[in-house]
C-alpha cells in the first residue's frame, strides 16, 4: 500500500465510464460540445479489470461511478453489476439524472444505495441555459423515484455568481423538504475556466454562500463524517447540508482520491495534468500487473498537491468528476 509523508493513502476511486455527456454545462464542457467521448475508451471488461487491480494494489475501499454521464454509456449496466460483486465498502454513482427513471429497475435490482444527482437550478429555463440540454422535470422525477426506493440521495449544486446564485436557498428548501442532503461544490478553476476570467466572475466563496443561507435560516457547523471532503452544517430544526469548499477550506492534505478515466489513464490529483496509462498493465498476467502498478501508484501519489488545489487545464468530464 502506498502511504505518503502526510499519511495519505488511495482509498476512494472515481471511475469515468465515458467522457461523453448529454449535457454541456457552461462551467464544465468547453465549446458547448455534447456527447464527446475520449479517444480510445476502454470497454467495460477492461475497466473492471483495472478496478480489480486498484482494489488489490492500492487498497481502494470506495468506488464512485462517474463521467461524463455514466448512464449514457452502454457499459453502465454490466459495469455496475460487475462492481457490485467486488469487495468494496461502498459504491456510489454521480449522475445528472436524465436516465434515472430508465435505470431505476436496474438500481433496485442491484440494491443500490447511494446516488449523487447534479442539479444547479430549479428554474426550467435557467436549467437549459446552464446545462445547454436536458429536461429538469425528468431529473426531479428521477430524484423522487430514488428517494421512494429508499436510496440515500445527495444533490450536488455548483453555485455560480452570474447564473444560479439566486437558487441557493430554493434548492436548499427543496432538499430539506425531502430529507436530501444538498452539497454545494465550490467552482474549481479547471479546463476552459482557467483560460479566461469566467472563474473570477462566477466563484462563490464559502462565506458568501453561508451569508445567503443565513439570510433565511439559522445555520450551525456540525462534525463531518470521517474522511469526508465536505464541511457540514445543520439548518437548525430542518436538516443538514454540506459544502465542498475546495478553495475556501482546501482539503488536499487528507485527499484519498484516485481517478481512472474512461481511456484507462490514472490521475492522482485533479490539480495536475500528469497521468499514467494503465492499458499496458491490462494485458499482463495479474501478479505482474499488480507489481507494475506499485510504481504507477507511487508516482500518482507524488502528483497530489500538499496544500490546495491550484487549478489546472484538465477537464472534469474527461478525468471523472
Ligand atoms: N454527468 C455526471 C453529473 O452531472 O453528475 C457526472 C460527471 S460531472 C463532471 C460531476 C460533477 O462535477 C457535477 O456535479 C458537476 O457539477 C461538477 N463539476 C464539473 N465541472 C466543475 C467545476 N469546474 N467546478 C466544480 N464542479 C464541477
**What pLDDT, in 10s, does the model give residues 257-271?**
999 999 999 999 998
Q: What is the pLDDT of residue 312?
A: 78
Q: Indicate if ligand 1 lies below 6 Å from the C-beta of 190.
A: yes
With a cut of 70, say whether residue 103 has pLDDT above it. Answer: yes
Q: Is 28 in the pocket of ligand 1 (CB under 6 A)?
A: yes
User: Is residue 155's pLDDT more than 80?
Assistant: yes
Decide: 73 in ligand 1 pocket, CB within 6 A: no
- Residues in CB range of 130: below 8 A, 6 or more apart: 25, 26, 27, 120, 121, 160, 163, 164
Cα separation, 56 vs 211, in Å, equals 45
| CA gap 298, 8 in Å, rounded | 11
Q: At what angle do helices 100-109 and 136-148 cross, to 10 degrees?
A: 20
Distance 316 CA to ligand 1 centre (A): 6
The single-letter DSSP state of residue 35 is: S
3-state percent helix, strand, coil for the chain, nearest multiple of 5: 40, 20, 45
Angle at 305 between CA 304 and CA 306, to 5 degrees: 115
190 close to 152: Cβ distance less than 8 angstroms: no
321 lines ligand 1 (CB under 6 A): yes
Cα separation of the two ends of the chain: 24
Q: Would you place residue 225 in the very low, low, confident or very high pLDDT band (cuts 50, 70, 90)?
A: low
When the pLDDT of each residue in the chain is averaged and rounded to a whole number, the result is 95
Q: Is the pLDDT of residue 115 over 80?
A: yes
The answer to whether the CB of 288 falls within 8 A of the CB of 42 is: no
Q: Confidence class of residue 175 from pLDDT cuts 50, 70 and 90?
A: very high
Residue 223: CB atoms within 10 A of its CB come to 7
| pLDDT, position 316 | 84
Q: What is the pLDDT of residue 32?
A: 80
Of residues 272 and 172, which shows the higher confidence score? 172
Is the shortest distance between the CB of 243 and ligand 1 below 6 Å?
Answer: no
Residue 309's Cβ-count burial label (10 Å; 0-12, 13-18, 19+) is buried
CA of 118 to the centre of ligand 1 (A): 7
CB 274 within 8 A of CB 319: no
CA angle 279, 92, 255 (to 5 degrees): 70
**Residue 224 near residue 231, CB atoms below 8 Å:** yes
Which three three-digit cell numbers place residue 82?
Answer: 460487475
CA distance 183 to 204: 14
Beta strand extents in 2-71 (DSSP E only) = 12-16, 62-66
Instruction: Say if CB 210 and CB 219 are below 8 A apart.
Output: yes
* Residue owning the nearest CA to atom 10 of ligand 1: 321
Strand partners, 243: 184, 231
Q: 96 CB under 6 A from ligand 1? A: yes
Nearest CA to ligand 1 atom 13: 118
Instruction: Tell me, using a 6 A CB cutoff, whether residue 185 lines ligand 1.
Output: yes
Nearest CA among 254, 234, 250 for reference residue 242: 234
The 10 Å Cβ neighbour count of residue 132 is: 15
135-149 pLDDT, tens digit per residue, is 999 999 999 999 999
Q: Which residues contact 287 (CB under 8 A, 6 or more apart)?
A: none
Residues in the chain, how many? Answer: 321
pLDDT of residue 227: 53
Rounded percentage of the chain residues whose pLDDT exceeds 70: 99
Edge-first strand listing for the sheet containing 62-66: 219-222, 231-235, 239-244, 181-185, 152-157, 114-118, 90-95, 62-66, 12-16, 257-260, 265-267, 276-277
Predicted local confidence at residue 314, as pLDDT: 82
* Radius of gyration, CA atoms only, the chain: 19
Mutation choice for ligand 1 from 26, 35, 94, 318, CB with most ligand atoms inside 8 A: 94
- Which of 14, 160, 164, 321 for a ligand 1 pocket mutation test, highest count of atoms within 8 Å of Cβ? 321
Report the C-alpha gap between 320 and 262 in whole angstroms: 8
Amino acid at each position: 500500500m502506498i502511504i505518503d509523508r502526510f499519511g495519505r493513502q488511495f482509498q476512494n476511486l472515481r471511475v469515468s465510464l465515458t467522457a461523453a455527456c448529454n449535457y454541456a454545462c457552461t462551467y464544465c464542457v468547453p465549446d458547448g460540445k455534447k456527447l464527446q467521448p475520449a479517444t480510445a475508451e476502454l470497454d467495460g471488461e477492461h475497466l473492471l479489470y483495472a478496478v480489480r487491480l486498484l482494489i488489490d494494489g492500492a487498497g481502494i475501499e470506495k468506488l464512485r461511478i462517474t463521467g461524463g454521464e455514466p448512464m449514457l454509456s452502454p457499459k453502465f449496466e454490466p459495469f455496475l453489476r460487475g462492481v457490485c460483486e467486488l469487495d468494496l465498502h461502498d459504491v456510489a454513482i454521480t449522475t445528472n439524472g436524465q436516465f434515472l427513471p430508465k435505470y431505476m429497475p436496474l438500481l433496485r435490482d442491484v440494491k443500490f444505495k447511494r446516488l449523487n444527482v447534479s442539479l444547479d437550478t430549479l428554474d426550467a429555463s435557467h436549467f437549459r441555459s446552464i446545462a445547454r440540454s436536458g429536461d429538469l422535470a425528468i431529473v426531479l422525477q428521477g430524484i423522487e423515484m430514488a428517494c421512494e426506493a429508499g436510496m440515500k440521495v445527495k444533490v450536488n449544486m455548483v453555485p455560480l455568481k452570474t447564473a444560479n446564485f439566486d437558487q441557493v436557498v430554493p434548492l436548499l428548501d427543496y432538499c430539506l423538504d425531502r430529507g436530501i442532503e444538498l452539497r454545494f461544490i465550490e467552482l474549481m478553476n479547471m479546463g476552459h475556466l482557467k483560460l479566461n476570467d469566467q472563474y473570477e466572475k462566477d466563484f462563490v466563496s464559502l462565506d458568501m454562500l453561508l451569508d445567503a443561507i443565513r439570510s433565511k435560516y439559522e445555520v450551525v457547523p456540525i462534525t463531518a463524517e470521517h474522511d469526508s471532503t465536505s464541511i457540514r452544517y445543520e439548518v437548525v430544526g430542518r436538516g443538514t447540508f454540506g459544502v465542498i469548499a475546495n478553495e475556501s477550506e482546501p482539503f488536499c492534505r487528507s485527499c484519498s482520491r484516485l481517478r481512472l478515466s474512461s481511456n484507462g489513464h490514472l490521475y492522482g490529483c485533479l490539480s495536475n495534468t500528469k497521468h499514467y496509462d494503465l492499458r499496458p498493465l491490462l494485458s499482463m498476467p495479474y501478479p505482474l500487473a499488480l507489481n507494475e502498478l506499485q510504481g504507477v501508484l507511487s508516482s500518482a501519489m507524488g502528483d497530489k498537491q500538499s496544500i490546495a488545489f491550484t487549478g489546472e487545464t484538465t477537464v472534469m468530464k474527461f478525468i471523472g468528476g
